[in-house]
């Protein structure tokens, strides 16, 4: 957690939005983990505990439990589901009650802050179905904390950790028939925080919307756990010091599309970026963190403001350390790719994706065992077993939802 954020999330009550920054309330999120939540009853209200906190209200119609979907061939693309969650927040920093509404278009003014000045954040997390039919969420409070941090950087109010987790829970349960069967994929959850209010001059928007939608997904890379092929980008940069590379703002992703398109046109899976100052230190792939393995040491670029603090990254580090690996968070030179035993990427969408080759300055480095290294396989199995509830959750990371 970045300096100062711990004290912000520890506050028990939020204050009205003032100027560019807001304070946010936080219920003790540690108590949320590993609890079993029942399906919320219609129009059941939970009293609000502070400002900038949507009342936890659910009002939606039940749908059929039958989903006509080819689970065996599920890719990573949008499949429209039944419901979405919406809450609003005005200039006073107080969110209205959250509602679960039918999935569909949202109305925005052409002068909305998000459309004109890119004032927006998003998160990504997943829900998994266990063999007994129950549904698990994986570390949703970490996404909530990251949104709080990003919101401060982008001059936005944000939902509390408690509200964020409750909204995710409601949205998943409302769309429970879209959670894939065990081993067939997951339900990808996309929370959005956007400046929805109209603004003409450059300034924070006067209104904000917190929205969550979901979609069943399979593998992000078509290769699945098979190795991907990366090219090191030497012309474009993803982020620069002092910018927004360290928060999950929407603008970070549009800027990588050109380099990614060029790379895919040449047959590569994705792009690996270098730092914008020295052009020699690894940063991250377009939407993934990167890890380099040498002997029993796993190295990954340190979080220093230009790299997104991935939740899967954090989880892999903790799992690796629990298994006796030495993990170093430091500057990782591009030259270290040449002698690496294996390389892999991590992210919510990909989980763990082994790298089969990296091409840099016209030279291609390939990794043994067709790129699927022993370490990446071990960590992938350990993490996915936790996420899917196939093993006892010794880390305390999952949240089970009753249906």
pLDDT at 7 over 90: no
Torsion of CA 365, 366, 372, 376, to 10 degrees: -20
pLDDT at 191 over 90: yes
Of 119-123, 225-229, 293-297, 372-376, least confident by mean pLDDT is 225-229
pLDDT at 38: 39
CATH for 83-218, among 3.40.50.620, 3.30.70.270, 3.30.470.10, 3.30.70.20? 3.30.470.10
The CA-atom distances, in angstroms, between 388 and each of 69, 185, 254, 354 are: 20, 10, 31, 20
Please give the share of the chain, as a percent, with pLDDT higher than 70.
Answer: 82
36 class by beta-carbon count within 10 Å (0-12 exposed, 13-18 middle, 19+ buried): exposed
How far apart CA 39 and CA 201 sit, in angstroms, is 44
Contact 43, 58 (CB under 8 A): yes
Q: Which residues are catalytic?
A: 248
Every domain of the chain and the residues it spans: 83-218, 228-388
Q: What is the mean pLDDT of residues 46-74?
A: 57
Q: What is the mean pLDDT of residues 243-268?
A: 96
Q: What is the mean pLDDT of residues 144-167?
A: 96
What is the DSSP-derived secondary structure letter of residue 76? S
Convert the pLDDT of each residue in 219-244 to its tens digit.
776 655 789 999 999 999 999 999 99
End-to-end Cα, the chain, rounded Å: 33
By C-alpha distance, which of 230, 213, 207 is closest to 170?
213
How far apart CA 137 and CA 127 sit, in angstroms, is 5
pLDDT at 34 over 70: no
pLDDT at 52 over 50: no
CATH class of 228-388: alpha beta
Contacts for 224 with CB less than 8 Å, ≥ 6 apart = none
Contact 292, 282 (CB under 8 A): yes
Three-state DSSP state, 137: strand
250 class by beta-carbon count within 10 Å (0-12 exposed, 13-18 middle, 19+ buried): middle
DSSP assignment of 283-350 equals EEETTBEEEEEETTEEEEE--SSSS---HHHHHHHHHHHHTT-EEEEE--BGGGGTT-SEEEEEETTT
Q: What is the mean pLDDT of residues 357-383?
A: 91
Q: What is the pTM of this model?
A: 0.84
How far apart CA 168 and CA 125 sit, in angstroms, is 9
Reported as a pLDDT band with limits 50, 70 and 90, residue 36 is very low
34 phi/psi in degrees, rounded to 5: 65, 15
């Amino acid at each position: 957690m970045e300096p100062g954020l711990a004290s912000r999330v520890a506050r028990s009550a939020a204050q009205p939005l003032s100027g560019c920054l807001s304070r946010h309330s936080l219920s003790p999120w540690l108590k949320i983990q590993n609890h079993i939540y029942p399906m919320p009853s219609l129009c059941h209200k939970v009293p609000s505990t502070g400002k900038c906190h949507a009342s936890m209200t659910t009002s939606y119609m039940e749908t059929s439990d039958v989903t006509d979907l080819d689970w065996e061939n599920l890719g990573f693309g949008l499949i429209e589901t039944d419901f979405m969650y919406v809450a609003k927040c005005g200039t006073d920093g107080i969110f209205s009650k959250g509602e679960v509404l039918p999935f569909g278009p949202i109305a925005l003014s052409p002068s909305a802050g998000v459309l004109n000045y890119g004032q927006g954040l998003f998160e990504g997390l997943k829900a998994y179905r266990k063999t007994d039919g129950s549904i698990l969420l994986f570390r949703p409070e970490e996404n909530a904390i990251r949104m709080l941090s990003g919101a401060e950087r982008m001059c936005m109010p944000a939902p509390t950790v408690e509200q964020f987790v409750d909204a995710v829970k409601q949205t998943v349960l409302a769309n429970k028939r879209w959670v894939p069967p065990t081993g067939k994929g997951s339900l990808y959850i996309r929370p959005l925080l956007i400046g929805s209010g109209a603004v003409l001059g450059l300034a924070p928007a006067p209104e904000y919307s917190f929205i969550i939608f979901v979609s069943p997904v399979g593998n992000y890379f078509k290769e699945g756990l098979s190795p991907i092929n990366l090219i090191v980008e030497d012309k474009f940069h993803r982020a620069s010091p002092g910018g927004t590379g360290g928060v999950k703002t929407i603008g970070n992703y549009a800027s990588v599309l050109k380099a990614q398109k060029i790379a895919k046109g040449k047959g590569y899976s994705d792009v690996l970026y270098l730092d914008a100052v020295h052009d020699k230190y690894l940063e991250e792939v377009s939407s993934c963190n990167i890890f380099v393995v040498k002997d029993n040491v796993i190295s990954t670029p340190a979080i220093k403001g230009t790299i997104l603090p991935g939740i899967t990254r954090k989880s892999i580090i903790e799992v690796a350390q629990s298994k006796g690996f030495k993990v170093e968070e430091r500057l990782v030179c591009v030259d270290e790719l040449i002698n690496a035993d294996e390389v892999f990427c991590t992210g919510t969408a990909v989980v763990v994706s082994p790298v089969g080759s990296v091409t840099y300055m016209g030279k291609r480095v390939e990794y043994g065992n067709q790129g699927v290294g022993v370490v990446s396989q071990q960590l992938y199995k350990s993490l996915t077993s936790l996420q899917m509830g196939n093993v006892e959750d010794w880390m305390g990371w999952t949240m089970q939802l009753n249906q």
